[in-house]
Amino acid sequence: MGLTENLLSSSQWVITFALFALILLRAVRSINWQAFRRNNSLQHTFFGAAVALGFLWHMRAGLSPGLAIHVFGMTIITLMMGWALAVVCGLMALLMTVVTGREPILMFAVNGLITVMIPALVSYRIMLWERRRNFRNFFAYIFFCGFFGAGIAVASAGTIMCLLLWTSGTYSFDVLVDEYFIYLPLMMFPEGFVNGTLVTGLMVFHPDMLATLDQRRYR
């Protein structure tokens, strides 16, 4: 999202860093690292996705600092690898933007929380909701987890980012509405389209790459 050092207060930085550390610790402890080391295909997917996201996040637009607009792509990564590996993968991609000077290292935790963790967790929760509903048509997975899930994920991340900028006093609510919120629906559509299209393609040609897909449920 492009948050820089002067956009948040010290208390906000501490709180977001604490949340970032807790979620990262939970993610690292949730991953079966032995299985990951034995699965060469998963390793290739993991590192390839990190590089792809790193390049994708260099393409963005925005009028004011911190109000950048870009495709996140975290929903497809979450559906492919689960939320924990998706978080680690996304943070590796974010690290690439830090190394290239696109993002400041001091805001790594805040940007990681908003750009990586929130979309991954929201996408995963929507996937669990779809699973609990026990839909029998595979279009439910594509629509709810792919298209709908991606749109809600980016909307959630954008809303939380705006709340942080508003409560810090960096921008007034009117400015946030004029420069960001009115574009949020336009962000949700391409996010849903990109992720949903990739989910559809994988479901048709490589369903084994979607770790969250239970093929036995669908007729």
pLDDT 10s per residue in the chain (219 long)? 566 666 777 888 899 999 999 999 999 999 999 999 999 999 999 999 999 999 988 876 655 655 667 778 999 999 999 999 999 999 999 999 999 888 888 889 999 999 999 999 999 999 999 999 988 888 899 999 999 999 999 999 989 988 988 988 878 888 888 878 888 888 889 899 999 999 999 998 999 999 999 888 776
- In which residue are the tokens 């996304």 written? 90
List the domains of the chain with CATH numbers: 10-217 (1.10.1760.20)
Q: Which two tokens stand for residue 212?
A: 């969250």
Cα of first residue to Cα of last residue in the chain, in angstroms, is 40
The tally of CA atoms less than 13 A away on the side-chain side of residue 166 is: 15
Q: CA 164: distance to chain centroid?
A: 18
Beta bridge partners of 69: 61
Rounded Cα–Cα distance for residues 113 and 117 (Å):
5
- In which residue are the tokens 């990190």 written? 50
Q: What is the 3-state secondary structure (H, E, C) of 63-126?
A: CCCCCCECCCCHHHHHHHHCHHHHHHHHHHHHHHHHHCCCCCHHHHHHHHHHHHHHHHHHHHHH
Global pTM value: 0.92
Closest CA to 79 of 71, 89, 70, 69: 89
Beta bridge partners of 61: 69
Per the CB < 8 A criterion, the answer to whether 155 and 188 are in contact is yes
